Amino acid sequence: MKLEKFEDLACWREARALTNSVYGLCEQPSFKRDLRLRDQLTGASVSSMNNIAEGFGSLSNQEFRRFLLYARRSVSEVQSCLYVASDRKYITAEEFDSVYRQAGLTRKVIDGLLRYLRTKRSQETRTGQTSSGDGFSKLNSARQRN
Write down the pTM of the prediction: 0.82
| Positions of the chain with pLDDT under 70 | 1-2, 121-146
What does the pLDDT read at residue 122?
A: 54
Q: What is the pLDDT of residue 67?
A: 98
pLDDT at 141: 46
The answer for residues whose C-beta is within 8 angstroms of residue 135's C-beta and 6 or more apart is: 61, 120, 121, 124, 129
